[in-house]
Amino acid sequence: MIVSGKVQGVGYRNWAIWTANALGVTGWVRNVRDGRVEIMASGEHTALEAMVEACRQGPQLARVDDIEVQAVGEIHLKGFNKRLGIEA
């Protein structure tokens, strides 16, 4: 997922980690240089749907304008963590 809006500097990544853990989703989250947030998520279909819907709201201080969701096939990840650094 690529999440656009006011999603950096508002606790979005930490919120995404908490939400993913609560839903049983594995993967990672990181900031993107252009101000968006990127999330790679893996899990059961219903858990992933719930994660996408939760990400449309985000934490209290966020404003989500858009979410681009792209399926990339089955990926097996352990845990859900924050990737450091801002990617292109």
List the catalytic residue out of 14, 21, 30, 31: 31
Residue 63 annotated among the catalytic residues of the structure: no
User: Nearest-CA neighbor of 43 among 27, 67, 30, 19?
Assistant: 27
d(CA 65, CA 47): 22
Residue 56 annotated among the catalytic residues of the structure: no
Active site residues: 13, 31
